[in-house]
Structure formats: structure tokens, C-alpha cells
Amino acid sequence: MNHKENLVNIACIQMEPVFGDISGNTRKTIELINQASNKGANIIVLPELCNSGYVFKSRMEALSLAEEIPNGSTIQSWLHAAKQNDVYIVAGIHEKEGDKLYNSAVLIGPEGYIGTYRKNHLWNEEKLYFEEGDLGFPVFETKYGKIGILVCYDIWFPEAFRVYAKQGVDLVCVATNWVPMANQPNEEKRMAVHVAQANAHMNSVFVACADRVGVERGQPFIGSSVIVDSDGWCVSGPASVDKEELLLATCDLSKAQCGKSKTKLNSIMGDRREEIYQVVEKINN
């Protein structure tokens, strides 16, 4: 793994979008991107559906708030911000392609639009509005290393992280809208944070999760944005459950091991026994 620049300042922006206010939400993200850049951020992660809001009442409403990638107004604003600040931006966006809607996230850099990830695992009523992702798990090369993207519920599927790890990804950026879990007694037991830590540890990748806060149409969100190193330890956050915050951490992506030895006799990728995992498919069938 040969990075041009291993040390990178990663920022996660925890914010509260206003449902349906595309222009206002976009302006807010630009202000926060500028703030993160001024603090030295090189890679900036924003929440899931941060341009539109999350809780739709109908497919018609959802369709009215979607935009095409990369020609939509939100993307155009982010393109300008990325170039102006010389940063990479990962951000959740409400995507329209023809009559299909996707819960997506984009990667934009100083050089322009780089690529799109479409959420593969849809949560609850998302299934009423969005198509399942059809782009797989794309890996994006940057001057800091290889980046993978997931959206919210995707992190509950360890296969997603393993697929990225097998492709040599260094950093997984997660645009998310985490909601309270059942039987979650207090903010010290935020399951999503533990899930992010476990996946980072098991796959030796850095993980940066940007969540939103606030209550939208009766649905609360739990904040708790976090940046996790490749050993699974939190290096910034978790953030609060109810306040807008900017997390920042300097990370050495060369420490993302992605198959390098953990001991003289072990490696996470090398110790996998794919021949015995096929039983999972047999059970399902």
C-alpha cells in the first residue's frame, strides 16, 4: 500500500438538516465544510440525506426532493467547495435517476466529482421510497489512500466491511442517520458506535461516521458521530447525542493493515477459511 500522503486530517460534521429545505441545508453544509477546512481537515464526512432530510410522507414527496448526480444543485455547490478548500467531501444525498430514487452518498474532491455509493441495505420505511443499491461496494482512489463508503444500516452487515478490506480500503466513510435502538438505556451504550469500532478492529480499517441530530417529524436521531482507528479505538468522539459538532482527528492511513500480519503467524485476510464459510449459503437455501 503506497500512499502519497499517509497522514490525513479527517473531519466528521454532525449537523441538523431542515426537512425539505434543499437550498438552506446546502448552504449550511458549505459553511460547515469551510469551518472544517479552516481547522485543517483534508477529508470531510457529512450525514446521510443531509441535503433533503430523512422522514418522507409519500413517494411523491420523496421524488420532489431528489436530484440527479452529478448535475444537481447540491452537488454543484459541493464541487465548488471541494475545489476552493482543496478537500475531499463524502456526503449523503437524495438521488434521482429517471423514476428511481436512491439513498446515496458521493465522493467529491479538488479535482471534481469522483463517484457515488448507493445504500445497499435499506432500513424500515426506506423500502417504500428507495431502490436497493446497484453499484456494489466501489473503491475510490485518492492521494491519501483508498476510500470506501457506506450509509447507516449498511454497517450492521459485516460482509460490507470485509469486501472493502479485501479490496485494500484504508478508510470507510459512513454517512448516517442513526436512530435510538430498542433497550438503549443511555448514551454510554450507543450500539452504533460499538458496531463501527468492531468492524474497524476486525478489518483493520479506519472508520469515520457522521451522524445528524435533532427530531424530524417525530423521529429522534442520536448524534454520536465518531472517528475510529484501524485498531478499533475511538480517536475522536463519540460526539454528543443532541448537539451539532465538528469532530477532527489526524490519522496515519498507512496503519490500515488490510491483510498485513497481526502477529508473525497471523493475518486477518490470510487466516480466512472461505472453504468452510459456504455453509452460510447452504443454510439460507
For the chain, report the end-to-end CA distance as a whole number of angstroms. Answer: 38
Residues 223, 210 contacting (CB under 8 angstroms): no
pLDDT digits (tens, 9 = 90+) for 245-265: 999 999 999 999 765 666 788
Task: Enter the DSSP assignment of 52.
Answer: T
**What CATH number should be reported for the domain holding residue 175?**
3.60.110.10
Give the closest residue to 96 by CA, choosing from 121, 123, 127, 59.
Answer: 59
Read off the pLDDT band of 266 (50, 70, 90): confident
Query: Is 116 within a domain?
Result: yes
State the residue range of the domain holding 188: 7-284
User: Is residue 201 assigned to a domain?
Assistant: yes
Q: Does residue 217 belong to any structural domain of this protein?
A: yes
| pLDDT value of residue 284 | 59
Return the higher-pLDDT residue of 1 and 206. 206
Q: With respect to residue 203, please indicate whether it lies within any of the assigned structural domains.
A: yes
Is the residue at 39 inside a domain? yes
- Mind telling me the catalytic residues? 48, 119, 152
| Cβ atoms 251, 13 nearer than 8 A | no
Report the predicted TM-score, pTM, of the whole model to 2 decimal places. Answer: 0.94
Which range has the worst mean pLDDT, 95-109, 172-186, 190-204?
172-186
Cell numbers describing residue 90: 463524502
pLDDT beyond 70 at 185: no
Q: What is the reported pLDDT for 181?
A: 82
Range scoring the smallest mean pLDDT among 29-33, 35-39, 184-188, 205-209: 184-188
The pLDDT confidence band at residue 184, using thresholds 50, 70 and 90, is low
pLDDT in tens, 1-44: 444 467 999 999 999 999 999 999 999 999 999 999 999 999 99
CA distances for 106 relative to 83, 114, 199, 266, 275, angstroms:
15, 8, 22, 35, 35
Q: Is residue 170 part of a domain?
A: yes
The per-residue pLDDT for 182 is: 73
Q: What is the mean pLDDT of residues 109-124?
A: 98
- Domain membership of residue 258 (yes or no) is yes
Q: Is residue 1 part of a domain?
A: no
65-91 pLDDT per residue, tens: 999 999 999 999 999 999 999 999 999
Residues in the chain: 285
Pairwise CA distance, residues 53 & 45, whole Å? 16
Mean pLDDT of the chain: 93
Domain count, the chain: 1
Q: What is the pLDDT of residue 186?
A: 61
